[in-house]
Amino acid sequence: MILRPVLQDIKNIGYYLGKVILGLGMTFILPLVVAVVFKEKNPTLDFLISFSVTMLFGYLLSLICYSEEDLTWMQGMIVVSLAWGAASLFGALPLFLSGHWHSFLDAVFDSMSGFATTGLSLAQGMDKLSYAHNFWRHLIMFIGGQGIAIVALSFLVKGISGAFKMYVGEARDEKVLPNVIGTARFIWLVSIVYLVLGTLAIGFVGILEGIKPVNAFFHGACLFMAAFDTGGFAPQSQNILYYHSFSIEVITIVIMFLGAINFKLHYYVWTGNWREVYRNIEMRVLTITILAVFGISCAGLFKDASYPSAIMLFRKGFYQIISGHTGTGFMTIYPAQFKAQWNDLALTGLVLAMMLGGAICSTTGGIKILRVGIIFKALWQDIKRIIVPERAVIMQKVHHIKDLFLEDKQVRSVFLITVSYLALYFLGSLIAMFYGYGFLESLFESASAAANVGLSCGITSVDMPAGLKITYILQMWAGRLEFMSIFALLGFIWAALKGKS
């Protein structure tokens, strides 16, 4: 029997949602400082309004729903799913006020794309966007990559056991450190250290390429946040192609790869356990799948002689594969060139790369490499059960940070999430086909949205139907949270409507 939620359930959810919104509101201070430093009057006003509205809403919600009770598992997941929806709405306020988005829906699209580290964009006149608004676009990727609830866990929520329930709700079920709040702060530490190093590296290269120092380091910070958090936004409308720099392309490949790695693996490397890099099943499977999908795309690109030289194949082919596989969405070609220079076979390799994604407990999206590895290990286990004597006991072991034995419950969970992703990919494709787009381009764009990648073959534009914009927003939301929090929210709504008192 399903029970109807009581008032205390709603108060708990509202109180912690208000806390997360307050944490989000505080992040508006950073672009506000940028606007003041660069003496941008209208952007200053935009972020003051957004800061005031968000903080007021968060304060009132936490005041009205004040609760001293801890979160249950269901409540924690609902808080997270609602927090991402709220973030996309409040994060869209300064974007819409800037006048560079035609409608509030377009601004919400970009806001969700940023927080979900996707990178698809409907911005207009991006090359004339203010420093503050451009910084905000990339900052929300940095926040979303770490996790919106991580903001609350790091700064606003202290000493509660419900913290882990919010952490898991953001599709992270691994603790780097024994304490989940310590884990959240370690994730921030890793990200900020890499932010400084990445900004300096790209900034100095930018200066050598002829960019003014202030712009070089500003672009460096923005590109790092988008690359490490596998987002794909860039300060200029031409994305990475704008720079025409082999050095920047190589640096961003390294940063994208770091962003696609499990934070727990970062911890082991930081503490000197380098052996884990080549022992870990995720790193092995990631290497294999990168080679496999690049091989598929190479076969298509060679067939049509799209990129005849090795350097062109690296910069125009391999770069897109790494960008897609890590879920980043940086591009060194125009969207139209996917249709003109990539045949169906080459595009299929890239679509597969986007669908697979990177490591769990990282900033990337998609099915995730650990799940791919577990599926193949489970398949091999079943094959061995068939060929060995019936009395033999078959145990399949995988090494992920430590040795683990596969259990049916674990494999079933992996299959559930994988099937959910595949269903989401094809559902988005069907909707795009309903609006008149071809199958492969529809699948490409759907996989890019649902796997939080950001590559586009040209469908994503300000002129696409509103229904398709909403579809991609929902795909980005569901794909980033890996469904469990979404299922919890839908179950809560069903219980409220149909449950017994």
DSSP characters over 43-103 = HHHHHHHHHHHHHHHHHHHHHHT---SPPPHHHHHHHHHHHHHHHHHHHHHHHHHHT-SSS
Amino acid 176: pLDDT: 58
Top-confidence residue, 193 or 161: 193
Measured in degrees and rounded to the nearest 5, phi and psi for residue 19 equal -65, -45
Q: Pseudo-torsion of CA 198, 266, 23, 239, nearest 10°? A: 40
Tokens of 279: 């022992």
Q: 3-state class of 168 per DSSP? A: helix
Per residue in 68-121, pLDDT (tens digit) is 787 787 888 888 899 999 999 999 999 999 999 999 999 999 999 999 999 999
Report the Cα–Cα distance between both ends of the chain, in Å, rounded.
Answer: 10
Q: Are 53 and 104 in contact (CB under 8 A)?
A: no
Q: Are 105 and 465 in contact (CB under 8 A)?
A: no
Amino acid 171: pLDDT: 53
Question: In the predicted model, is pLDDT for residue 159 greater than 50?
Answer: no
Nearest to 448 by CA among 353, 371, 380: 353
Read off the pLDDT band of 179 (50, 70, 90). Answer: low
Residue 297 CB partners (closer than 8 Å, separation 6+): 317, 320, 321, 342, 345, 346, 347, 348, 349, 350, 353
CA 358 to chain centre: 10
Read off the pLDDT band of 420 (50, 70, 90). Answer: very high
Instruction: Please state the pTM of the whole predicted model.
Output: 0.91
Amino acid 145: pLDDT: 79
399: β partners: 403
Amino acid 390: pLDDT: 64
Measured in degrees and rounded to the nearest 5, phi and psi for residue 399 equal -110, 110
Interatomic CA distance for residues 327 and 124, integer angstroms: 23
Question: In the predicted model, is pLDDT for residue 496 greater than 70?
Answer: yes
* Strand duo 402-405 + 397-400: pairing: antiparallel
- Mean pLDDT in residue range 252-278: 86
Beta strand spans in 388-434 (E): 397-400, 402-405
| Counts for the chain of helices (H) and strands (E), in that order | 23, 2
Give the DSSP letter of residue 394: P
Per residue in 435-448, pLDDT (tens digit) is 999 999 999 999 99
Top-confidence residue, 175 or 215: 215
Interatomic CA distance for residues 25 and 31, integer angstroms: 11
Per residue in 454-469, pLDDT (tens digit) is 999 999 999 999 999 9
